[in-house]
Amino acid sequence: MRKENQSFENGTGVCPVNRRRFLYQTMALAAAANMPPAPSLLAANQPELQGQFERKIKLGIVGAGGRGCWIANLFKRHGGYEMHAVADYFAPVAESCGRGLGVPPERCFSGLSGYRRLLESGVEAVALETPPCFFPEHASAAVAAGLHVYMAKPVAVDVPGVLKVEAAAKQATARKKVFLVDYQIPTVLHNIEVVKKIHAGAIGRVMALHSHYFAGQFPDPPLEETIEKRLRSLIWCNDVAIGGGYHVNACIHAIDAALWIAGQRPVSATGLSRIGRPNPHGDSHDIFELLFEYPDGLLHSHRGKHINNFLNFDVVVTAIGDTGHAQICYGGRTFLKGREDGYNQNVDNPYEAGAVSNIAKFYDCVVKGDFSNDTVARSIDGALATILGREAGKRRTRITMDELLKENQSLEVNLKGLKA
């Protein structure tokens, strides 16, 4: 389901280079897929890879396409996981990824209900890597089954879905289960240092944030009688009901980083957006100019670009304080300039290293019984903030968070004709 390249059908267990990684490599930012992460990228409190593990965690992968199977191989490489089961809507994808992971055919499940059979197969934990419209249902079912949950972002595509995931995460914490949402920017040590300094007052009171997410588009072929083919190759990023749209699915990296600095959820968004990609078929906008306001008066402008115009992948958040300024990023320069403090470091692209760090953290939390689940609150706020921005841009108006929550608009995915 969740894919960043064509269907995983080569049976090798090693995923081909995907579209995002190609962009990263052209910028000389990404490491090769089989290289270990640079130690400087990982948060200092993460365990070493390939060490002695207390035990193996039986893991199931739900969504075994490009990124899903790539993530599965990172779990396998970690050494602390037993790759127990795989589920994907497409049977050949589940079977191919399963072969590469050493999962027996009887534990490779397909169809819309394949995830349920996976949850009943004896797994202790699941990694959710499907299009995000499925996350609320899958996460809730996993927690109800008593499992630990590792999931991709965004947690949902609409307000009811976000609130359902929030409830599931709270239930997981109450049941002493780990619930981790995978973001990469907050795993980078240099970003962590800059944000610590900002929170300690190194640039004074933060008055404004400026963020942007610049990248290319994904394939957007003509619509068909069913959505089956739109579940492949990140086509679903073009469809608001399936993937949340470009702002919710991709710009959320920059919004999450801004929320990390702000330490609060925006109370309103004002914006404009449009479709810029040629011959569009999905309903997602791909050009965004948005302004968020926070409870303490903090202003946050955001620009998003998701068209192929040779403006390379770039994700940055700049913080403007009353005595200095700072920047964190998804590859590039992270720095701080204040009256009495400074910091300036290069950040390698954390696409792989960040996932490796989060996989290690997930293992550590499970075996050590750390159920603080500290990634949940901001992942909920980030999803709501990006939905707020998406709606403000689409409607070309100002919307408050209270209004958005009161609307509680549900987006329905047409599953007609899909295999159960």
- What are 315-340's pLDDT values in tens digits? 999 999 999 999 999 999 999 999 99
Q: What is the pLDDT of residue 51?
A: 57
Instruction: Tell me whether residue 43 is exposed, middle or buried, using C-beta atoms within 10 angstroms of its C-beta: 0 to 12, 13 to 18, 19 or more.
Output: middle
Q: Quick check: 12 pLDDT over 50?
A: no
Q: Which amino acid is at 54?
A: E
**Per-residue pLDDT tens over the stretch 346-361:** 999 999 999 999 999 9
Task: Report the share of the chain in percent with pLDDT over 90.
Answer: 86
Please report the sign of the dihedral spanned by the C-alpha atoms of residue 96, residue 87, residue 239, residue 256: negative
Q: What is the pLDDT of residue 38?
A: 34
Task: Report the share of the chain in percent with pLDDT over 70.
Answer: 88
Write down all domains in the chain, each with its CATH number in brackets. 19-184 (3.40.50.720), 189-349+376-407 (3.30.360.10)
pLDDT band, residue 2 (cuts 50/70/90): very low
Cα–Cα distance measured from residue 65 to residue 391, given in angstroms and rounded to the nearest whole number: 29
How large is the average pLDDT for residues 244-272?
98
Of 16-25, 175-184, 253-262, 346-355, the least confident: 16-25
Residues 6+ apart with CB under 8 A from 292: 258, 266, 268, 269, 299, 300, 301, 302, 385, 388, 389
pTM of the model: 0.89
**Per-residue pLDDT tens over the stretch 201-223:** 999 999 999 999 999 999 999 99
pLDDT band, residue 43 (cuts 50/70/90): very low
Q: What is the mean pLDDT of the chain?
A: 90
Pick the most confident of 1-15, 31-45, 354-368. Answer: 354-368
CA end-to-end span of the chain: 14
Q: Quick check: 253 pLDDT over 90?
A: yes
